[in-house]
Amino acid sequence: MPQYLFLSGTARAGTSALVNILNQHNHILLGQERYFKKFRQNTITCAHFEKDRFLEIREGDTHAHGGLFVPQRPRRYDNAVYIGDKFPPMFRHLDHVLAEFPKARHIYILRNPLSVVESYEARFRDPEDTWNLDWRAGLAAWNDSVARIAALPPEVLKTFLFVQYEDIYASPRALNALFTQLGLSNLEPETLAPFVEKFSGLNSKLVPRRDDIRAQVARNADWAAYKQLCALMPPPVEDDL
Number of domains in the chain: 1
**What local confidence, expressed as pLDDT, does residue 208 receive?**
74
| Confidence class for position 19, pLDDT limits 50, 70, 90 | very high
Read off the pTM. Answer: 0.95
**What local confidence, expressed as pLDDT, does residue 241 receive?**
44
58 assigned to some structural domain: yes
How far is 171 from 154, CA to CA, in rounded Å? 30
**What local confidence, expressed as pLDDT, does residue 204 receive?**
65
**What local confidence, expressed as pLDDT, does residue 90 receive?**
97
Q: Give the DSSP H or E segment for 214.
A: helix 211-220
Side-chain-facing half-sphere of 193: CA atoms under 13 Å: 6
**What local confidence, expressed as pLDDT, does residue 1 receive?**
81
236 assigned to some structural domain: no
Range of the domain at 158: 3-230
Q: Is the pLDDT of residue 110 over 70?
A: yes
| Confidence class for position 239, pLDDT limits 50, 70, 90 | low
State mean pLDDT over 156-161. Answer: 97
How far is 14 from 109, CA to CA, in rounded Å? 7
219 assigned to some structural domain: yes
How far is 110 from 117, CA to CA, in rounded Å? 13
Cβ contacts of residue 160 below 8 Å, gap of 6+? 105, 106, 107, 108, 149, 152, 232
The Cα angle at residue 237 between residues 98 and 235, in degrees rounded to 5: 60
Q: Give the DSSP H or E segment for 122.
A: helix 113-124
55 assigned to some structural domain: yes
| Confidence class for position 199, pLDDT limits 50, 70, 90 | confident
**What local confidence, expressed as pLDDT, does residue 184 receive?**
98
Largest separation between any pair of C-alpha atoms in the chain: 51
How far is 192 from 167, CA to CA, in rounded Å? 14
How far is 35 from 16, CA to CA, in rounded Å? 14
57 assigned to some structural domain: yes
223 assigned to some structural domain: yes
Q: Is the pLDDT of residue 207 over 90?
A: no
170 assigned to some structural domain: yes
CATH code of 61's domain: 3.40.50
238 assigned to some structural domain: no
